[in-house]
Amino acid sequence: MTSPLPAHPSTLGPRRLPAALSAVELQRLLSAVPCPVERSPRGSLVLVPFRAGEPSGSLRFAVPEADPGLVARACLGALGRFGRVEQAVAVVSPGEAAPDACARLVAALEARGRALPGLSLQVAVLDEREADPAGQAVALLPVIDRAECLEVATVVDRLLDRHPGAELPRALRASVDELVRRSADGPPGAIRPASLAALIVSVQRAEGADRVLLLGRAACTRAPLTALLARACASAPGTERAAVLVVLARLLAGEGRAEEARELAGEAVRLDPHHVGARRLSAALLEERPGCAA
């Protein structure tokens, strides 16, 4: 589950949603709300609360193997952290879950929504069978075990507490350099959460991001570094993920994989609308899209 995220200004207002959403329709719905990019094989649930017709944040849950009624009660109960919520949208992404399991979860959400006084809940299902042209880059990101993500997040928080501004000491910067160099020589093998955390913190600074890409140029093949950065993206806390996505997008753009780079840069902007590097990269890649004016 993600933490509540600050609202991003939007013109999206309350409206009746269809019973099934295509990937493109879901993208439009959540375009104003930063949304993590992890994928869960058993499916996921995104809750978007609204205030005065504006999205006020988002929550994402990996769907567990549990009674749908209990899942609905727990997930909708988490809306309380946003204060009084009068309207919310629940978008169910089935993943690899059986259709009947998805249907039971939808029914449980609708029943629980009706039982909560003062809440107007609209439940929609993401139809993942439709090809999403923007989904190829997100598919690069591996599914990371929740325990590992929590461990990485703990180390990231500790590093940022000790080193304000993400200015790591020389020893930690050297360890990040070594990790990137090892990936240039081939798959780096097992990666400790602490090493991933140091990489994530390092690229929060522009010079750290540039350093990673500079070292990556020496690689005979970029595939191992791409895999390393994809793992860092998937493991990073939501508040630090945008910077890592930008580095990965820059790497892919340099390889001529413009469509994937555009998607990742756009995801970075959605996660952190104030990230200057993400906005600039996204704008530059959009200008390069065939058919767009320079």
Q: Which of 132, 149, 166 finishes a domain?
A: 132
121 and 175 within one domain:
no
Question: What are the residues whose beta carbons fall under 8 Å from the beta carbon of 114, sequence distance 6 or more?
Answer: 121
Any domain includes 12:
no
Amino acid present at 244: V
Full residue range of the structural domain in which residue 82 is found? 20-132
114 and 50 share one domain: yes
The pLDDT tens digits of the residues spanning 180-224 come to: 988 877 666 678 999 999 999 999 999 999 999 999 887 656 788
Domain boundary (91, 107, 132) is at 132
Quote the pLDDT of residue 281.
94
pLDDT of 186 reads: 65
Query: In this structure, what CATH number is given to the domain that contains residue 93?
Result: 3.40.140.10
Q: The domain spanning residue 250 has which CATH number?
A: 1.25.40
Interatomic CA distance for residues 193 and 250, integer angstroms: 24
Q: Give the DSSP per-residue string, 226-289.
A: HHHHHHHHHHS-HHHHHHHHHHHHHHHHHTT-HHHHHHHHHHHHHH-TT-HHHHHHHHHHHHTS
The SS3 assignment for 201 reads helix
- Say how many domains are in the chain: 2
**Does 146 reside within a domain?**
yes
Q: Are residues 67 and 201 in the same domain?
A: no
State whether 153 and 73 are in the same domain: no
Mean pLDDT to the nearest integer, 232-255:
92
- Whether residue 114 is contained in a domain is answered as yes
Q: What tens digit of pLDDT does each residue of 2-61 get?
A: 333 333 322 233 333 444 444 544 555 555 444 443 444 457 788 888 776 667 777 888
Torsion of CA 178, 179, 181, 187, to 10 degrees: 150
